[in-house]
Homo-oligomer: A and B are copies of this chain.
Amino acid sequence: MLNFDYHAPSRIVFGKDTQKQVGDLLKGYGIKKVLLHYGGGSIKKSGLYDQVIASLKGAGIGWAELGGVKPNPRLTLVREGIALSKKEGAELILAVGGGSVIDSAKAIAAGVCYDGDVWELYQDNSISITKAMPVATILTIPAAGSESSEGTVITDEENSRKYPYNHNLLRPLFSILNPELFFTLPKAQLGYGVADIMSHLFERYFTNTQNTDLTDRLIEANLRTIIKYAPVVYGNMEDYDAWAEIGFGGFTAHGGLFGMGREQDWGCHDMEHELSAYYDVPHGGGLAVLTPAWMTYVYKENVPMFVQFAVNVMGVDGSFRDPDAIVLEGIDRLRAFFKRIGLPGTLAELGIGEDKLEMMAKQGTHTRLSPGQTEKPLGGLKKLYWQDILAIYKLAAK
């Protein structure tokens, strides 16, 4: 086990009707005015917007508002939010939506307190902010884990760049999770969300670090629960108890705890960011396609790790003396699971052809270089250079 420094102070208010507490919660923290940040019309159609406004009014909290966040949230809207927050004197960004809205809110929260242009943080992750405006969230899609994480991912849509920035100051002050708010999601969002949650666990799980039993077991527990309940929700989008397991599992997956003391990977996330930067595909869709391909390509680097995954997570019988067969059966079962909840299996199904694969593989490894560096490999369990990434993209192609 490696040394670690764990700090995840976000408060999670979970359960039925909890969105109605938002005004009182903000008041408890002494907040007087917020920037209310959201996406399209869905929160208005569902009535959530009205509930939030009623709760703010009831607690005497003022607000300015900025809607219009799209999936793969845009830098231009972030800049608009920074200007608006300053002009309106907002003291907190209240994100009502999914990961895109929360990521956009975090970018605004960092940008308001940062002297330069906010995109500098995403271009150069070595910049450590010293201050950020607080963010609170009401989650409408369990997926990105942004409700408890330190991360934000923003897309510079003019230059097709999609970059993350992580800082502990960006963890939300509090997040409200009411599984009832997930009932009205389009069915496809369930799959995208589940693929993202599982990827947050995979990125932490697959490691060459030894002596990590507790976190291995906790991650497996989280994965098995998600795998059990995702098809239940897929069959009935209004199953509260099944959604509750997925919502709870979404914030534990990305809260940080389960990655402590171990090297992490993040290769699939980084490879996916290229897909969604160029093709604007759903992040979870890209992950569902790339993850089994990545596993197939890298597993020989650490066969016991992948045998453990196949047996403990995918339920493969591990008592036979053919580890490769055990691993490949585990990967097949993961593919079948993704398919069962409506996720795509190939880049072709995502509408991605083969013409840009090499270019994307090189983009992923040839930007944001350190001085003197000519290529920055992705991943951890196996370092992925552009040829590796291209091979994985090709494995995932069709």
Contact = CB atoms under 8 A, between A and B. Distances in A.
Interface of A: 1-16, 18, 174, 210-211, 213-215, 217-218, 220-222, 224-225, 228-229, 241, 244-245, 248-249, 252, 257, 260-261
A1 B244 contact: yes
Contacts of A221: 214, 217-218, 220-221
A11 B228 CA distance: 32
A214 B252 contact: yes
B12 A6 contact: yes
Given A6-B14, A214-B245, 6 more contacts: A1-B241, A3-B18, A8-B9, A214-B221, A214-B249, A217-B221
B244 A211 contact: yes
A356 to B, nearest CB: 39
Contacts of A13: 4-6
21 contacts: A1-B241, A1-B245, A1-B248, A3-B16, A4-B12, A5-B13, A5-B14, A6-B11, A6-B13, A7-B10, A7-B11, A8-B8, A12-B260, A211-B244, A213-B225, A214-B221, A214-B225, A218-B218, A244-B261, A248-B260, A257-B257
Nearest to A18: B3
B7 A14 contact: no
Contact of A248 (B228, B241, B245, B261): B261
A359 B269 CA distance: 61
Nearest to A175: B6
A240 to B, nearest CB: 8
Contacts of A12: 4-7, 260
A215 B249 CA distance: 9
* 8 shortest interchain CB distances as A-B pairs: A3-B15, A217-B221, A9-B9, A7-B11, A211-B241, A6-B12, A1-B244, A214-B225
Contacts of A10: 7
B214 A248 contact: yes
Nearest to A171: B9
Contacts of A213: 225, 228-229, 245
Contacts of A248: 1, 214-215, 260-261
Nearest to A246: B214
A311 to B, nearest CB: 15
